[in-house]
Amino acid sequence: MGYREEFDQSLADPRGYWGEQARAIDWFRPPEQVLTDEEPVPRWFADGILNTCYNALDRHVINGGADAPALIQHSAMTGARRTYTYAELLEHTAKLAGVLRALGVERDDRVIIYQPMIPEAVMSMLACARIGAIHSVVFGGFAPSELAARIDGAEPKVIISASCGLEPGRVVEYHPILEKALERADHAPEHCIVVQREQAPAELKEGRDLDFAQLMRSTAIKPAPAADVAATDPLYILYTSGTTGKPKGIVRDNGGHAVALAYAMRTIYDIGPGEVMFTASDVGWVVGHSFIVYGPLIAGATTVLYEGKPVGTPDAGAFWKVVAEHGVKALFTAPTAIRAIRKVDPDAELVAAHDTSSLQTLFLAGERTDPDTLTWAGEKLGVPVVDNWWQTETGWPIAANLRGLEPMPIKPGSPSVPVPGYDVAVLGPDGERVGPDTEGAIAIRLPLPPGTLAGVWRDPQRMIDSYLKAYPGYYSTGDGGVIDADGYLTILGRTDDVINVAGHRLSTGAMEAVLATHPAVAECAVIGVADELKGQVPRGFVVLKEGQSVEPDQLAAELVQLVRDEIGAVAALRRVDVVAALPKTRSGKILRKTMREIADGKDAVVPSTIEDPAVVDDLRDVLTS
């Protein structure tokens, strides 16, 4: 079948369609009930029993793939190269799973993983999946307060960390960050396992901290077998920025996740056994979960674990070196990375310096891909450049150009068409579908396909309020956009306060909460403004308390540092302006949308309900300076 037939079938008969797709993975007990009618979120494969780690590793070893390469470590920071076969990765993972069991980690216990891009991070995720524990990976760029919030949210029995991470020109010591986070957190884990890296070994706390390597060498600890896990049991919690500033713990189940990723690898990315996929992301983000770790390994392919940057490690040819060295078929990265490469190497001279003939497709996601970047990359690489759109909540693409099913014409600026299983709609203010080329709120008619969020950790009401309440019968994506007459989707931007900085979803509300703690600040606003390199960057505005006399540049520096300390450098807040007032409606609502439109050079829509129109004129001078 072609795309249209598959898509239509997936919506007309979701039980039959996904029941057939479920045959692509190995079940300990195949499901008979494909989809429940449970509210508010139906469950996929509810009576099935499987193990995600078994599907990622054991079954390939059993079926003759023991010596096939599973994971390639490629560090542009240290020069390290190592290839783990499926048998070797299984051996390490099973031993680490045994370590966790020996430390008292049982099924449904949580384990937080706070690590850089090292093989131990992949092993830690798989080891949790192996014994039925729930992992929650925290991006290494987050500051102590963000890590503490996730520790209190997940309440882990064990934290697996590393002594440090590596950035161009500096070493980021993780252990002191972890220590500060534990001081802030109400919950205390029983143990912290630490991978000691030679660039900055950590001083371990006796009784709590354990050396990763020593535990793995212990002959007293036996490898753990793959446990029977219900399809509906949680595999992981991944916290994502929320509009209240409090991160939401997105829960992913085991069965639907495995089925969806096996399907995505085959139909979207066209990657199978023996083929190499290089996803230049981080395991701390959903892209890293799905397409560095689980997707390629479930497919029996080879995945590249890259520690480095697109430029500066050592140059703008870093990605092309990885492609050439490992015979990469598909490269998946964020548009920001390509823009950074283009800025340094506009004529793509470093592409020509490497043999990239193995590369068949460049996939871009994490933020909207501007047509200029897509066209430049396609011309310089000589391969299709495929935009795909999805979210932490969905776990895999909502819209894409399906290279393994039916490649379609590429329309720069559009992630192409909805993937089978996703009934994507553009809704007007009345909640009804609008016609072609009409802007509205993007929503997905329920039920969502397998692999999408199973809920919000310990907060079912937030699941309803955040995603299901706005449009009954639909999942609200929080994005606005249009669908054209050919069925192609275009994403126009967020409708809430979450901005996308270089592919990282960040809450402006969380940044505002930090700015508001400064004793000189009476009120504040943070907006995302368009940026040529990163897509969006945050920009802050503060109104001083009456009687405050401060030097603006000094205050701005203090506020920028405050956000860096509380949220982390990933927030990328670089500019804060002191203003006399913020534009508001008469009811007191800050007109952030108007501020964004002015900052982006658009014709700003100023509501008639504005309290003081002169404030907008004053702000326009600041925003355009």
Quick one: pLDDT at residue 294? 99
- Which of 296, 264, 267, 298 minimizes the C-alpha distance to 25? 298
- Which of 587, 595, 590 minimizes the C-alpha distance to 624? 595
* Unique residue bearing structure tokens 């050919």: 486
Q: In this structure, what DSSP letter does residue 315 have? A: S
Strand-pairing partners, residue 341, are: none
Task: Kindly give the interhelix angle for 14-21 and 3-12, rounded to the nearest 10 degrees.
Answer: 120
Determine contact, residues 211/196, Cβ cutoff 8 Å: yes
The one-letter amino acid code at 180 reads K
Determine contact, residues 528/508, Cβ cutoff 8 Å: yes
3-state secondary structure of 293: helix
| Predicted model pTM | 0.86
Question: Which domains occur in the chain, in start order?
Answer: 3-308+388-442 (3.40.50.12780), 500-623 (3.30.300.30)
Helix locations, 201-357, DSSP H:
212-217, 255-267, 286-288, 295-298, 318-326, 335-344, 349-352
Determine contact, residues 524/541, Cβ cutoff 8 Å: yes
Report the chain's C-alpha Rg in angstroms.
24
Residues 6 or more apart whose CB falls under 8 angstroms from that of 566 comprise: 143, 145, 146, 514
3-state secondary structure of 118: coil
Quick one: pLDDT at residue 420? 98
- What's the average pLDDT block by block, 10 residues per block, for the chain (625 residues)? 94 98 98 93 96 99 98 98 98 98 98 98 99 96 90 97 95 96 97 98 97 98 98 96 71 98 98 98 96 98 97 96 98 90 92 97 88 92 96 97 95 95 95 92 96 97 95 94 94 72 74 85 86 86 83 91 87 88 70 82 70 79 75
Paired tokens of 201: 């070994």
* Unique residue bearing structure tokens 């008639």: 608
Residues 6 or more apart whose CB falls under 8 angstroms from that of 296 comprise: 265, 271, 277, 279, 302, 303
Q: How far is 500 from 68, CA to CA, in rounded Å?
A: 37
Q: How far is 150 from 128, CA to CA, in rounded Å?
A: 17
How far is C-alpha 483 from the geometric centre of its chain's CA atoms?
A: 25
Quick one: pLDDT at residue 243? 47
Q: If residue 16 lies in a helix (H) or strand (E), which one and from where to where?
A: helix 14-21
